[in-house]
Homo-oligomer: A and B are copies of this chain.
Amino acid sequence: MAGEGENIMPKEKMNIVVFSGDMDKVLAAFIIATTAAAMGMDVNMFFTFWGLNVLRKKKFTSGKNILQKMMNALNRGGAARLSLSKFNMLGLGPAVMKTMMKRSKMPSLPEMVQTAKNLGVKFTACTTTFSFMGFSKDDFIDGVDAYAGAATFLGEVIDGRVSYFI
């Protein structure tokens, strides 16, 4: 701001809470995030609740007690196997959607996750949900930049330009 660099403007910041684990909503989140990053914005994505599934490895997460085991048997992770918020039809909907996207030359969700990383989008996994769902860091992909709670995230939000809850 001060100094000889009159062009040194702070980059506008976009902060997205990814609460949903629905394939269609997560797709929308990543289309927005990668487009904003490509336009030069600083993009933070905070994954919480079902959104954590995007960052989970495909492997089975067992959990530390019987309730966590029950929940995690249903609540499976992996960006490639999320369900749709509408017309899921036991997995037929997502399969149809993926094929439609491929025919339309759209990148798949796992490809978009990789593009987001390449463009410098920052991924934070919510430690609050993380711990009550019984996950451990081993359950997550390498691309996670930080494990933090809501206070850390809101510290970014407070000087951001655009915020979404998806």
A166 within 8 A of B: yes
A104 within 8 A of B: yes
* Given contacts A74-B87, A87-B71, A132 and B103 within 8 Å (CB-CB): yes
State the number of copies, please. 3
* Given contacts A87-B71, A96-B70, A164 and B162 within 8 Å (CB-CB): no
- Interface-centre pick from A75, A132, A166 (highest chain B CB count, 10 A): A132
Which of chain B's residues has its CB closest to A87's CB?
Answer: B74
- Say yes or no: B49 contacts A24, CB within 8 Å: yes
Within 8 A of B (CB), among A140-166: 149-151, 154-155, 157-158, 160-166
**Which of A1-9, A31-39, A54-62, A116-124 is the interface stretch?**
A31-39
Which of chain B's residues has its CB closest to A155's CB?
Answer: B39
The 7 A-B pairs with the shortest beta carbon distances in the complex, nearest first, are A104-B132, A35-B150, A164-B165, A162-B163, A100-B132, A67-B100, A165-B166
